[in-house]
Each structure stands twice: as C-alpha cells, then as structure tokens.
Amino acid sequence: MAIRAEGTRSGADVWKRNSRGRELRERVVKILLMACAYLSIFTTVGIVIVLFEETSRFFLKVSPVEFLTSTQWAPPQGEFGVLPLVYGTLMATVIAIAVALPVGLLTAIYLSEYAPRNLRRWLKPALEILAGVPTVVYGYFALTFITPFFRDSLFSGIESFNAISAGLIMGVMIIPTIASVSEDAIYAVPLSLREGAYALGATRRETATRIVVPAALSGIAAAVILGISRAIGETMIVTIAMGAQANFGGSPLQGMQAMTAYIVQVVGGETPRGSITYESIFAVGSALFLMTLTLNLASYWFVRRYRETY
C-alpha cells in the first residue's frame, strides 16, 4: 500500500491542513448520524400517537369496559368485546409454545452440548432459513397440508379453518427464535460448571439438564417470552389457516379469529376512515401493542439478568 501510494501520489497531495471546513463537516456529520439514531424514538412515538389517537376516538363510541369485558365480537352489529379475539390469539399462542418450547430448547441443548462443530456450522444457518420463510408460506402449508392431514388421520371432525394447524405451524416458525436465544444463554454458561459436574461423576445428560440448563434458565425464560411475543404478533398464518370468525371458548379443532387476523380482515375491505370499524382496528392494535411491549420488556430484563451473572 505504502509503496504504491508513494509512486502515484506525492506527500503534498495526501497531507491536508486542519481547516475550519473540516471541523464543520465533522459537526454536520455527527448531527446527521444522531438524527438517524433518534429516528427510532420518533418511530415509537409515532406508533403510540397513531394508536392513541384513533383508539381514543373509538372509545368515545364504545366504552372501554365493554371493549375489555364483553365476550361478544360482531362489528357489523356494533358488538365490540375484544375477549373473543384475545381468546383466538392466546389459543394459537399456547399451541405454538407447546411445540416450540420443548423442540426449541432441546435443539439449543443439541447445538450447544452435543452437535459436532462442523454439523453445528450447518445446522444453525439452516434454522435461520426456517426463520426467514415468509409467513404466507407457512399459512398455505397449514391450510393445505396440515389440516387435511389431521382430517384424514387424527381428528375427522376438524374444520377447514382451525386453531390447531395454525398453532402447530406457528410453533415451527418460532423454533428458531427460541433455539437461538436459548443457545446463546446455554453457551454463555462457563465451562467450569460443566467440568465440575463431570468431576462429580455426572453423565452428559445429567450435566446438561441439571447443571447447564438451570444455570441458563433466565436466558431461556427470555427466549420463551420472546417466542410468545412473536406468536401473539404473527399475522398471516392465523389469517390464512385459523379463519375470520370470532369464536369465544371454541375448541382447537374449530376456526377462530386472532387479533391480528381481524386487522387484516378489515383493511382487506373498503372501510372508510372515521367509521367505527376503521377505528376498531387501532383499538385492537393498541391492545396487541401493549401485550407485546410488556413481553418484550420482560424478555429484555431477563436477558440483562443472565448477562450480569457471568
């Protein structure tokens, strides 16, 4: 580099005197970069303002008590009790976590404690691809493959739109999230803890399940909370495979509507701005935002806790 530079440019070209212009440029650049970073604050403020504005208009027409406690959801009839939508969302989420927690955690244990190094280098990216599959694709798979499969094998009475197929596939979608965040936590457990366990005569499984996993528990909790948050916010799988009929207290084999699916259903039709239906999607959005915000902050808290331990 130095030799080539010497040949092509003389020292006089490279050297620059400190100038006021240079100082000015430094200051302008810093302000521009700062603006980029502050944009994230504006994004959050924007979300809060937009949601709050329309939601407050909604609550002028529908009482918050009715919204939060009524079990009737029928917008055309003016019935706005959000619980049936929350029920649909939670049903899909519980099924998804029932799949993703065991599979994701065992995958993380495999990746960190069992997998040979070479295999690990291939398996982790493969899981990332699983996380990168568009959710409409998962929705299609749940609707056209999983549901017919269940109808032919286990549950003959299953409806074409149902919570169990949507939930199961959503679980598959979340496996990479839970696996990768838990693996980070498990990997961070100091080697000395494992060596201590081996020295006391523990087997590999005993070390993994009794020493390493408990030591990483708070990171694993963060992973699970993050997974729950993703499941609650997931939209296309539940829209495509779980249906558009609010159903409070329905069984997993029946169709039901999730909060996110309601938003998509409304924007799909021509809904004029200012109508109560238009405002209702923001009210549902606010509830969704508060649920995921709480979970995300809880997850953040757990992650920091385990980072501080070691």
Partner 1 sequence: MVRDSTKVERQEGGVGGPDFKASMSVRYGLDRAFTVLVTAAALVGLVVLALLLADVVRDGSSMLSLEFLTSFPSQVFPENGGIYPALIGSLWLLALTGLISVPLGLGAAVYLEEYAQDTRINRVIEINISNLAGVPSVIYGLLGLGIFVELLAPVTGGGSVLTGALTLSLLILPVIIVATREALRAIPGSIREGGYALGATRWEVIWSHLLPMALPGALTGIILALSRAVGEAAPILVVGVSLYQTYTTAGPFDGYMALPTQIYDWISRPQQVFQDSAAAGIVVAMVVLLVANSFAIWLRNRYQQRS
Task: Looking at residues 213 to 232 of the shown chain, list those that interact with partner 1 (rule: CB under 8 A).
Answer: 226, 229-230, 232
Question: Which residues within the stretch 89-148 sit at the binding site for partner 1 (CB under 8 A)?
Answer: 102-103, 106-107, 109-111, 113-115, 121, 123, 125-130, 132-141, 143-145
Tell which one of 163, 172, 224, 242 touches partner 1 (CB under 8 A). 172
181 binds partner 1 (CB under 8 A): no
Q: How many residues bind partner 1 (CB under 8 A)?
A: 94
Tell which one of 66, 236, 248, 307 touches partner 1 (CB under 8 A). 236
277 binds partner 1 (CB under 8 A): no
Question: Which residues within the stretch 61-90 sit at the binding site for partner 1 (CB under 8 A)?
Answer: none
Report, in Å, the least distance between residue 26 CB and partner 1: 5
Which residue, 146 or 256, is less far from partner 1 as judged by CB?
A: 146
Report, in Å, the least distance between residue 247 CB and partner 1: 19
205 binds partner 1 (CB under 8 A): yes
CA distances from 253 to 144, 157, 166, 168 (A): 15, 8, 10, 12
206 alpha carbon, distance to own chain's centre? 31
Q: For residues 263 and 240, is the Cβ–Cβ distance under 8 A? A: no
Tell which one of 6, 53, 152, 195 touches partner 1 (CB under 8 A). 53
- Chain position carrying tokens 């269940």: 150
276 binds partner 1 (CB under 8 A): no
211 binds partner 1 (CB under 8 A): no
Which residue, 60 or 77, is less far from partner 1 as judged by CB?
A: 60
